[in-house]
Structure 1
Amino acid sequence: MSTYGPCGQEDDVRRVCLRELEPLVDETWIDEAGNLVGLVHGVERGGRVATRVTAHLDELSMLVKRIEDDGTVRLTPLGTMYPGNFGLGPVAMLGDRATLCGVLTLGSEHTTKESQRIWETKPDQGDKALDWLHVYVFTGRTPEELSDAGIRPGTRVCVDRTKRTLVEFGDYVGSYFMDDRAAITALLRAARTIREEGRRPARDAYLVFTTNEEVGGIGGSYASRTLPGDLVIALEVGPSEPEYGTTVHGGPVIGYSDALCAYDKDVADALVDVAGGLGLSPQAAVLGAFESDASHAKANGSTAKAGLLCLPTLSTHGYEVIARQAVPAMADVLVDYLQRRDR
């Protein structure tokens, strides 16, 4: 969780994943989109029915939009979220030559209508939702000092490492960026199970740790277009909400559709069947404001078939909570599905 991985700058997360993945698969490489790919040979090697399984490396973050004369930094989001999702507090500005800490702030609550930007966000006054126009980063540095660190418009800004501790409570764990670090962990766990238990997939499986998912599924679409196979399955966090009939303490969430595509029914049905066979109480879901590597690839014609397997997650794109058993459950479903596919 502590490793920074904003969209388009996933290098550090990719290095960690490569270290863990390399001993578990038959081949590894990094493609032109920056995706980390691990190939697991199937019982029947080669052929177009290979499966691509994706979990994305990138995290929700921010971009420096401009630097004011006093060293204040204005931001724009990189991915879909709002200041309230992250909360005010320390952020890391990933300069080319140095990473500097600043504080994401709104300003003083002890203000009146004269401070219009602050006033309009007060529930008992202006009653507007906190948005990026309202907040800024106090850096405590001059524009020249920021420039010397290589901080400029386009610099990535992340939630600071001091706020990224995994919290354990009861049967649950919470942190920022379960999206998609929890799914990455599940994919690595699946690779380890395949290797250590000799549970080869029926067909070749490409395990793809993708880039730039939060800004349009770019890495996943590239991998789906360039790798062999007819199916991509995205591993994701899945919203636990009454709207979808899903709960955080339930079994894996299986997507039947989202904002971009209808997932292939035979794939979704098979995932539900596998999860049910493992006694995991799968949760079928028709999702609304949601997208994945798989739905982007299906919508833009980069794959013939698409599936979605999710860890049920509370507070997606915020401080996210999952059950302790969600990661091993996802890994078990994936391994079992890959063994059964096309047999």
Structure 2
Amino acid sequence: MSHSLQSPTLSHEVLERFRSLVCIPAPSSREHQIATIICEQLQAMGLQPERDAGGNVMVEVPGRNPKLPLWCYAAHMDEIAIVVTRVRPSGDLEVARSGSLYPWKLGEGPVEILGDKETVVGIFSMGSMHIPLSERKPVGWEGVWITTGMTETELADAGVRPGSLAVLHASRRGPYLFGSPGNPMVAAWSFDDRMACALLLELLAHMQATGEKPLHPSLFTFTHNEEVGGWGMKNLARMKAPEAIIALDLAPTPPGTPLQMDDRPAIWSKDSHGHYDHELILE
């Protein structure tokens, strides 16, 4: 029996929902396409989503106790990406990161450059390996570029310019199943945070199908620009003033962190900006 990497064949509602979102390019500030898809899926459930001026998608759900304060459940639509800093005369693109992305996480391979008029496919490049050992060093943004095979004029016609964003090509995003056939694992490029978007969508679909309601009046939100400062959620919190915000995101497992790979959720108590609400964590 082959245990090779494969596209998903496992029948699972969340995985199917995730697969409908994973290949949509949505770097920070360019979430309009995935926001439209999410709105269409919400409307198909019989819900009436709203979009604010910044691009957040929101659905209000009545609570079993309407006197309780508003709670907010949030997942973000955007992804870490590449930003073009200069178009070289050769047509190659100098690039930097958008969000906390390191070039070695991408590896060499195809990317999609989101021009103002059309999407261009290029190759994220790191140069030849055939260099003296003394000249080898960790790969940084100054040592990578995107090879486009196009002229400056052709790129300009496509709307590719400094400030254009690029993302991993759809062919490299997954999702992929691997491991034990009876209990496989799933790998994909944009788990952060498309899986949380899929989970929120499936939760809303379940509530629509069963008539279940949350205890609190609740706002289910899909936010923009999380990877570059959380601006979507900050603006939404200011406008809607919920008592509590529960953000669904991916949990990294850095060395020394007591997390295990199982079916339990990970709950973080702090991040680099400060501590979270410990009463809410206990609840």
The normalised TM-score by structure 2 is 0.87
- State whether residues 86 and 94 of structure 2, in contact with CA within 8 Å, keep that contact through their aligned partners in structure 1: yes
| Letter in structure 2 aligned against 1:142 | T
Contact 1:27 1:40 in 2 (8 A): no
CA 1:217–1:229: 2 relative to 1, 3 Å: same
1:84 is matched with which residue: 100, 104, 111?
A: 104
Structure 1 segment 175-190 matched on structure 2, within 5 A = 175-190=188-203
The CA deviation at 1:22 is 2.5
1:22-53 C-alpha deviation (Å, 9 max, x unpaired): 34465310011100001111122366x11111
Report the CA distance between 1:126 and its aligned residue. 4.2
Give 1:32's aligned residue: 53
> Which one of 202, 223, 237 corresponds to residue 236 of structure 2?
223
Q: Does 1:55 align with 2:75?
A: yes
Aligned pairs (5 A) from 1:80-119: 80-112=100-132
Kindly indicate whether the alpha-carbon contact (under 8 Å) linking 1:25 and 1:40 is maintained by their aligned counterparts in 2: no
SS at match of 1:239: coil
Structure 1: 5+ residue stretches without partners = 113-123, 271-343
Q: Aligned residue pairs: how many?
A: 258
TM score, norm. by length of structure 1: 0.72
Separation in structure 2 between the aligned mates of residue 253 and residue 225 of structure 1, nearest angstrom? 27
| More RCO (CA 8 Å, sep 6+) | 2
Q: Which amino acid aligns with 1:198?
A: G
User: 1:131-210 to 2 correspondence within 5 Å?
Assistant: 131-169=140-178, 170=180, 171-210=184-223
Q: Which whole-Å CA distance do the structure 2 matches of 1:151 and 1:221 have between them? A: 30
Q: Do 2:74 and 2:248's aligned partners in 1 also have CA atoms closer than 8 Å?
A: yes
- The residue type equivalent to 1:230 in the other structure is E
Give the 3 Å change call, closer, same or farther, for CA 252–84 of structure 1 in structure 2. Answer: same
RMSD: 1.5
Using the aligned pairs only, state the percent identity. Answer: 29
Check whether the contact 1:90–1:102 (CA below 8 A) recurs between aligned residues: yes
CA displacement 1:247-299 (0-9 Å, x = unmatched): 223511011111112111111112xxxxxxxxxxxxxxxxxxxxxxxxxxxxx
CA distance in 1, matches of 2:199, 2:263: 17
**1:9 aligned to which of 27, 30, 51:** 30
1:68 paired to 2:81: no
* Counterpart code for 1:147: A
Contact 1:241 1:247 in 2 (8 A): no
Residues 42 and 48, structure 2, Cα contact 8 Å, conserved in 1:
no
CA contact (8 A) 1:7 1:215 kept: yes
Tell me the alpha carbon deviations over residues 149-180 of structure 1, each in whole angstroms, 9 at most, x when there is no partner: 00001111111112112101132100101000
Q: Report the counterpart of residue 129 of structure 1 in structure 2.
A: 138
Paired with 1:21 and 1:65, the residues of 2 have a C-alpha distance of: 37
Structure richer in strand, relative to its length: 1
Aligned match of 1:253? 266
Change (3 A) 1:265 1:127: farther
Gaps of 5+ in 2: 1-21
